[in-house]
Structure 1
Amino acid sequence: MFRKKVLLSTVLAISFLGYKKDVEAQTNADNLKVVNEKLEEKFAKVSPKLLTNNANPLLDFMFTADPTAVEYNGRVYVYATNDHEQYEHVGKDGKNSYERIRSLVMMSSDDMVNWTYHGLINTARLAPWSQNSWAPSITARLEADGKTRFYLYYSNGGGGSAMLTSTSPVGPWKDPLGKNIVDRTVPGVDVDAPFDPGVVIDDQGTGWLSFGAGTPKTKYMPDNALIVKLGADMISLASNISKIPAPYFNEASDLNFINGTWVYSYCTNWDERTVWPYSNIAKPTVCNISYMTSKTPLDKDSWKYRDNYFKNTGDVNVGPFTNNHSHFFKFKGEYYLAYHAMYLQDYFGTKGGFRNVGIEPMQVDEANDVTIPMVNATFKGPSQVNLLNPFVLQQAETTAGTSGHVQFEDGGSVGNMVAKGTIDKQCLMVRGADFSKQIPTKFEARVKGKGRIDVYVNNLKGPALVSLICDVKDWTTLSKQIALNIPKGVGNIYFVFNGEGFLFDEWKFIY
């Protein structure tokens, strides 16, 4: 009898312990579920990209504007006005009056949705004589010494246009002139604001620069859009200044060269279209992007107004009305339009006029005298043109979406940035990672400081696939076995991290 009682007690105890473990497991699961639901809720309203399939704006953690782009070695490099510099000076209740902006933003992508932030071009340090840096325009050319050189022109405030050069798309950059390349001291520059440069190199290797703005002589034909041929060195002028008769011209000059044709794009002004002599072409809407073409660009009479192809973002309800600045370019054989809209103002709690760069796919009929159909701004943006490989080193500053206020700092080498942790949790996301051929067994990251990275695939619900805990003073590559299975296929990867003074440089999965 005694043995039966002991046995029964043992069975009951084991049953109770099993029950207790089940309850604890369920409780822990419920707690984990609550934590993760709160985590997803925490990040729900921080960006138009993080929890959606939107590709615009390109960077969602800072304000950028006035884009330009160049393709190089399988990547597109985009450069922009650093609206965030103004925002940091005046705060969310201030206005974007541009006077504090003295740097340009660099970013690049090989797939059009995951963008690597390369940091800033500090024009205040590179060209201390200059006033501001707005509205860059870039081109590149393989030179006789076998090096590709990048020529970056930008608005030095409204008083002129300056330029920088580099043998790398991310620098280091140099100021070869120590002065504006064009301003009102140059003969033939008879406009108030010789800014907003647009550069292109034709099929003969010759550079061309358009620019201009200011008080118009007439509302319909302002006569203040200018063009000049550049010298072989790309830092001198090789022709007289010529006019481009752009109807209702306002600013934002840009140039392309396609099959022997110069294509000039510009932003129209806000005036009522009281005069319009083109019976076969509709009047352009206010502050949109229109274009003209020419075979002989220094002949003013050779320019032909063609049409408008990009309405103001306020016309299509992608943010409020704003000024308009764009550049179209070719990447991997397809055309895209880079522009800006006020995508992020609501997420940053401001109405100050701070802008962000977006991109749209576009069509260009190269054969039919270069014809451009209408392009509309969207939050959706371009599709991913190739998948991200999670099994090679990827930079932590490469993102398709973030938790909105993520900070990055200089990583110690040109064009390299690192993500910076805080006490509060932050999130980085990359899109379209290819797990279709291999299933990873480990995750590794190059980190520094004291912090933690939790890794999720496809969503922020459920337990993390792996949690990497760091407590090291120097840069160290840490790895951790993955506890849960990642389904085969293509997914988005979320990195949730925190830790004051914690730095996150790069990562990869191992199979």
Structure 2
Amino acid sequence: MLNRRLPYILGALACLCGGAAQAQNPIVTNQFTADPTARAFNGRVYVYPSHDIRATPGHGRAGWFVMEDYHVFSSANLTEWTDHGVIVTQNKVPWVKPDSYSMWAPDCMFRNGKYYFYFPTTPRDTTISKGFTVGVAVSDKPTGPFVPQPLPIKGVRGIDPNVFIDKDGQAYLYWSQGNIYGAKLKENMLELASEPKTLGELPTKGLKEGPYLFERNGTYYLTYPHVENKTERLEYATSTSPLGLFTVKGVIMDESPTGCWTNHHSLLEFKNQWYLFYHHNDLSPAFDKNRSVRIDSLFFKPDGSIQKVIPTLRGVGLTDAKQKIQLDRYSRLSSSGANIAFLDTANKFQGWKTVFANNQGWVQYNGVAFGKQALKTVTLRTMAAAGATVQLRADGATGPVLAQVTVPKGSQWQEIKAPLSAFKPGTHTLVVSSKTNTPVEIDWVKFE
């Protein structure tokens, strides 16, 4: 996997050339990603997000969303993600204004042996549209190369395209522009087959955008971000048909507790579990126009209603004990004696660290797969100016002590290896705690 501590320039090269991305939340830490649409093709999950970048002179509008291209990421286990590189860029689409930097939330759908990638942006020809419209790029593979169509879809003005194919084979396109709209698509997936319908039974006050529709047990769920108060929260409505009438049912995810103004999402069932893909500004806490994609598990109640999703740092999937375990993406953290900080505030793509202030600090990380074959050592990337002692346990305070590690004095990061005093096969929680009253910092933990 891509080392989270590579210099920024290497991260930028990975953005261009493809490579591995991170697990836990956010799932990508070497670039900004937002507005994720997740699709399962041939037993693998593909995430099609938008790609936030920072504005520079002559490249985008300062203080606003700046997006010039799209990447696609894929995973077989929702833990190890591969960046397949750029699949569509603004200056290689015939109808797109090449300096618009407005390649916003996309979608992708498979039909008739082809992959259809839908994306909104600003056309160079204002007679096509004075605002956003939606185009399509087509490929033989989910990772491209994608060939953009020469013109956008006629009759669509807006952003956030979402495609749904019903059980009878009829395809639908949804999008937003003040309201949320839906229309049938022709068999060729490139043209509307009906006039757009305004889904006007949704909330009338507050911005609505980002539609994502799916069907489950005969019920059609229309999900969307909505500004009920100050920032977007994720809501849903249900119907017995793809174009409504819809009945508003409730909230999938509350507003961001830290004030990230947008949220944008998709839902996916994969290997008999539902997941919510969404975004937050983890890697840019002071500027919410640079977002990062997250995943959390989603559950339905017996009556078909959606149980509200509480955002986590841990995310989903199992972490191999032999990989670097990022404790800062914790499941639980002590209320005193421990906190999370960026490794480098000047380059947040390097990720985070866990900081123990004293012997009251501990962190719990769920879902570590230790396997069957006995592991013998543990390595910590750690730093303690005055020295410290760190303890690792499996399954909490009553579980076996895996190791007690002495961290030598030093003001630089060190990789300290220590023998394991116990091994417990299978999948367990990992609890790491400080046993001394001197500060100690941990970047990652790895077993061998």
TM over 0.5: yes
The match for 2:278 is: 339
Of 121, 145, 154, 2:119 maps to 154
Matched, 1:381 2:381: no
The match for 1:179 is: 151
CA offset digits 1:362-413 (Å, max 9, x no partner)? 1134x73x421211222222232x85999xxxxxxxxxx999547xxxxxxx
Report if aligned partners of 2:107, 2:117 keep a CA contact under 8 Å in 1: yes
State the 1:298 CA deviation. 3.6
> Secondary structure at the residue paired with 2:276?
strand
The match for 2:246 is: 303
Matched, 1:229 2:184: yes
The match for 1:11 is: none
Aligned CA distance change for structure 1 residues 138 and 364 (closer, same or farther; 3 Å): farther
Aligned CA distance change for structure 1 residues 334 and 484 (closer, same or farther; 3 Å): same
The match for 1:67 is: 36
CA offset digits 1:6-57 (Å, max 9, x no partner)? xxxxxxxxxxxxxxxxxxxxxxxxxxxxxxxxxx9999xxxxxxxxx98100
Aligned CA distance change for structure 1 residues 402 and 135 (closer, same or farther; 3 Å): farther
State the 1:324 CA deviation. 1.7
- Distance of 1:387 and 1:74 partners within structure 2: 21
The match for 1:259 is: 217
State the 1:123 CA deviation. 2.4
> How many residue pairs were aligned?
326
TM-score by length of 1: 0.55
State the 1:209 CA deviation. 0.9
CA RMSD for the aligned pairs? 4.0
Of 79, 86, 104, 2:70 maps to 104
Report if aligned partners of 2:48, 2:106 keep a CA contact under 8 Å in 1: yes
The match for 2:306 is: 372
Aligned CA distance change for structure 1 residues 438 and 235 (closer, same or farther; 3 Å): farther
Report if aligned partners of 1:102, 1:123 keep a CA contact under 8 Å in 2: yes
- Distance of 1:389 and 1:320 partners within structure 2: 36
State the 1:90 CA deviation. 6.3
- Point out where structure 2 has 5 or more consecutive residues left out of the alignment: 8-21, 123-130, 324-341, 351-366, 384-416, 428-448
- Distance of 2:238 and 2:369 partners within structure 1: 41
After the TM superposition, which residues 400-419 of structure 1 pair with which residues of structure 2 at under 5 Å, given as runs? 405=349
The amino acid across from 2:144 in the alignment is: G
State the 1:88 CA deviation. 6.0
Of 137, 145, 153, 1:164 maps to 137
Aligned CA distance change for structure 1 residues 336 and 405 (closer, same or farther; 3 Å): same
TM-score by length of 2: 0.63
Name whichever structure is richer in helix by fraction. Answer: 1
Matched, 1:293 2:265: no
- Point out where structure 1 has 5 or more consecutive residues left out of the alignment: 1-39, 44-52, 215-223, 273-284, 391-400, 407-430, 441-455, 463-482, 492-511
Aligned CA distance change for structure 1 residues 269 and 484 (closer, same or farther; 3 Å): closer
After the TM superposition, which residues 394-433 of structure 1 pair with which residues of structure 2 at under 5 Å, given as runs? 405=349
State the 1:62 CA deviation. 1.2
After the TM superposition, which residues 7-18 of structure 1 pair with which residues of structure 2 at under 5 Å, given as runs? none
- Distance of 1:344 and 1:90 partners within structure 2: 22
- Distance of 2:379 and 2:163 partners within structure 1: 41
State the 1:358 CA deviation. 0.5
The amino acid across from 2:89 in the alignment is: T
- Structure possessing the higher relative contact order (Cα contacts under 8 Å, 6 or more residues apart): 1
State the 1:457 CA deviation. 6.0
Aligned CA distance change for structure 1 residues 173 and 113 (closer, same or farther; 3 Å): same
- Distance of 1:63 and 1:372 partners within structure 2: 28
